[in-house]
Structure 1
């Protein structure tokens, strides 16, 4: 069987590629966010950000990362963490 090869204009090919990558990115972000509550514990924040507890403690000490300290516990807003990581 003979294969038919179709050449698309560069702008169409680029638009398709961009749309596919955007779809994959959005799906990945949605699936990752669904696994975590909006307010995270230190352990959950480390898992979510894929960092060590030591790194998180360093960021807390330097007050680089957004967090709330309530009594003896720390809470991290998942949306604020996403914004913070976008600036890293």
Structure 2
């Protein structure tokens, strides 16, 4: 038996598409607003939901984008989003 196919009017599919994209935009704003643009190691672990050990391994292998300024590590939130999209 073939599955039943129902085609919705374009106005409805367009409205659904807009609603979905708006929801994602709002979610992204709420998540990103909790974190500054440049993160410390601790903030990065929280943002990515990873352990400090995992972050240290990624730093050692050069996998994760970061800046090392003196004894301080800084991670750009936008670069982390791009990095995680490739993981």
Whole-Å Cα distance in 2 between the matches of residues 17 and 31 of structure 1?
21
- In structure 1, the gaps of 5 or more residues are 1-7
Q: CA RMSD in A?
A: 1.6
Deviations 1:26-77 (A, max 9, x none): 1111111111111100000111111111111111111111001111111001
Number of residue pairs aligned between Structure 1 and Structure 2: 81
1:15 aligns with 2:14: yes
Q: Which structure 1 residue ranges, 4+ long, deviate > 6 Å from structure 2?
A: none
Residues 2-81 of structure 1 correspond to what in structure 2 (within 5 A)?
A: 9-81=8-80
Q: CA deviation at 1:10?
A: 4.6
Structure 1 residue matching 2:64: 3-state secondary structure: coil
Q: CA deviation at 1:13?
A: 3.3
Where does residue 82 of structure 2 map in the other structure?
83
Whole-Å Cα distance in 1 between the matches of residues 9 and 52 of structure 2?
46
Whole-Å Cα distance in 2 between the matches of residues 17 and 61 of structure 1?
44
TM-score by length of 1: 0.80
